[in-house]
Structure 1
Amino acid sequence: MSQTTGPSNSGIDVSFEFFPPKTEKMEQNLWRSIERLAPLQPKFVSVTYGAGGSTRERTHQTIARILKETDLVPAAHLTCVDASREEVDEVVRQYRDTGVKHFVALRGDSQSGVGEAYIPRADGYRNAVELVAGLKAIDDFEISVAAYPEKHPESSDFATDIDLLKRKVDNGATRAITQFFFENDVFERYVERARRAGIYIPIVPGIAPIHDFTKIARFAGACGASIPSWMAERFEGLEEDEMTRSHVAAALCAEQVLDLKQRGFSDFHFYTMNRADLVYSICHILGLRGRKPGAADAEAESSAAAA
């Protein structure tokens, strides 16, 4: 599988986030999603990384397969959860040897669940600030970190939250990707705060297409993202109407991205949930186009035959 399209003339660049499969059926779905979205030429695709050895191994296997079977640029998620510094450093070296040059460095959520108190290991990296420094000590990686337009739920105030981001940047972070949000004014104010604090790396909006409004609302509540009332009204009465819900979700998400583009933002990171059709529809509305896999090879062969 290869990417065969030229750069989009939409003025929009995208990246996609996937999560590693837990079952064979989920793996098939993941690769259908990758095949569906690869022709859109994302800048990179990231693969999440959870606590626990089996989850981490699945992430590594997914990354290795992306490198082997596609032309996509993978970014490996990395967390501090339940691992010593030596264990994390060894994982980083394994990824580097596989060909990974880009990491998404995160502290990670508590093993007790999202919203629960995080307790670092005494022999581990305490937070993403230390993790970024550890990555840079190993190699000159590209490093993306998390940013929170409505501040991290554990931060006491915005000043503390912005200071944490600044420390990540000072240690070598090259890009920030935000938690999802639905009010663009909130994101723009956050970027202004970051710029005033001397943070000048790209701050990429994290975009969450709404596959299931009830689930996204529940998750938003746990991670400190707000759900505006006007958005809830758009999905009212569509609980059992998947087709209409999908149309509304595509229109709403495209509307959000186009408004951000008008405000001067051009890079967007989509949380796909391994479900490609809705994301593909949104990207089509945004003007991103891609040939089907193999189209460029067929075209090249045709041109050669004509010559």
Structure 2
Amino acid sequence: MNNDQIQFSFELFPPRTPAGAEKLPAVVSALAAARPAFFSVTYGAGGSEQQGTYETVMQVVESTGIEAAPHLTCVGSSRSGIAATLQRYRDGGIRRIVALRGDLPATATSTQAPGEFRYANELVSFIRELHGDHFSLEVAAYPEMHPQATGPDVDFDNFRRKVDAGANGAVTQYFYNADAYFDFVDRCQQAQIAVPVVPGIMPITNHAQLTRFSAACGAEIPRWIRLRLERYQDDREALLDFGLDVVTRLCRTLLENDAPGLHFYSLNQSEPTLRLWRNLDLPLPIAAP
């Protein structure tokens, strides 16, 4: 494992409350001490956080000098609206974008996004059409299958279309079964898909929250993990220690088997990610914030 060639990144979301906005600069500063390759910043369904995404992206860049990648989604989008957003980011010096379909509204009756773009591959193609190679484009990958896909082959074909449209790399949904990731990478190799697929890593800090997130996104919590979390749900310290051990071993397994990096879902908290970082003995050790 050559740490010099491994890419680490952290995901943030635009703060939704005054308290969250007040807390965010300290979180960004603490995470920036690890010198990630980039931060990504999420984007609300239907563009509900578009302005917040822009403001958070620019705040990260201006305060840290580290690259920030806004999420850009199809849901509820128009070609003119996406074009204007892309130009705004380009004018702001942004060079990386995470291109996604986005979460469908609760009233959606199909897997197509409402708006002028239905799927992420169409968004990737449009970005390439307007801006050529200016932006490095990351897309989503689902080792355990997208929850709305009709089958694993259909889901993999959707991923292939995003790569064929011009994606430079992919970040996965989080998972706790390393074999799911390795199987996905093997399928990419067999299909001659050469873009790096970076595992998404979710620290385990809260049983109820993780259960809710996983039900929504289709990430499996293995039974042995779920039962232990249920046992520890009233003992926060034991749950945090168990979660740290589980995710540390997952990360080590991934890196020792040539994963190109790790993308940490920080949930706008620095300490769970930094605790993992220190436990993994990654480059540039960080003092506790």
Counterparts of 2:235 and 2:130, CA distance in 1? 50
Deviation at residue 31 of structure 1 after TM alignment:
1.8
Structure-to-structure mapping, 1:230-241, within 5 angstroms: 230-241=224-235
Q: Secondary structure at the match of 1:274?
A: coil
Equivalent position to 1:273, from 267, 272, 279: 267
Q: Which residue of 1 aligns with 2:146?
A: 152
Structure-to-structure mapping, 1:3-82, within 5 angstroms: 12-52=6-46, 55-82=49-76
Question: What is the RMSD of the two structures over their aligned residues, measured on CA atoms?
Answer: 2.0
Q: Secondary structure at the match of 2:49?
A: helix
Counterparts of 2:263 and 2:20, CA distance in 1? 22
Q: Which residue of 1 aligns with 2:113?
A: 120
Structure-to-structure mapping, 1:159-178, within 5 angstroms: 159-178=153-172
Aligned amino acid, residue 69 of structure 1 = S
Deviation at residue 218 of structure 1 after TM alignment:
2.4
Residue pair 1:105, 1:128 contacting (<8 A) in 2 also: yes
Q: Which residue of 1 aligns with 2:130?
A: 138
Deviations 1:265-285 (A, max 9, x none): 240001110111011010011
Counterparts of 1:189 and 1:54, CA distance in 2? 35
Deviation at residue 82 of structure 1 after TM alignment:
1.2
Equivalent position to 1:129, from 115, 121, 126: 121
Residue pair 2:101, 2:113 contacting (<8 A) in 1 also: no
Counterparts of 2:256 and 2:208, CA distance in 1? 29
Q: Secondary structure at the match of 1:235?
A: helix
* TM-score between the two structures when normalised by the length of structure 1: 0.86
Equivalent position to 2:78, from 70, 84, 99: 84
Structure 2 segments unaligned to the other structure (5+ residues): none
Q: Which residue of 2 aligns with 1:303?
A: none
Deviations 1:110-168 (A, max 9, x none): 1228x97445335x111100000111122211000000001112222222111111111
Residue pair 2:11, 2:42 contacting (<8 A) in 1 also: yes
Q: Secondary structure at the match of 1:249?
A: helix
Counterparts of 1:93 and 1:108, CA distance in 2? 20
Residue pair 1:207, 1:271 contacting (<8 A) in 2 also: yes
Deviation at residue 172 of structure 1 after TM alignment:
0.8
Deviation at residue 244 of structure 1 after TM alignment:
2.3
Equivalent position to 2:190, from 171, 196, 199: 196
Counterparts of 1:150 and 1:54, CA distance in 2? 28
Higher relative contact order (CA 8 A, sep 6+): 1
Aligned amino acid, residue 120 of structure 1 = A
**Structure-2 change in CA distance of 1:193 and 1:99 (3 Å):** same
Structure-to-structure mapping, 1:244-255, within 5 angstroms: 244-255=238-249
Deviation at residue 230 of structure 1 after TM alignment:
1.4
Q: Which has the larger radius of gyration?
A: 1
Counterparts of 1:46 and 1:277, CA distance in 2? 18
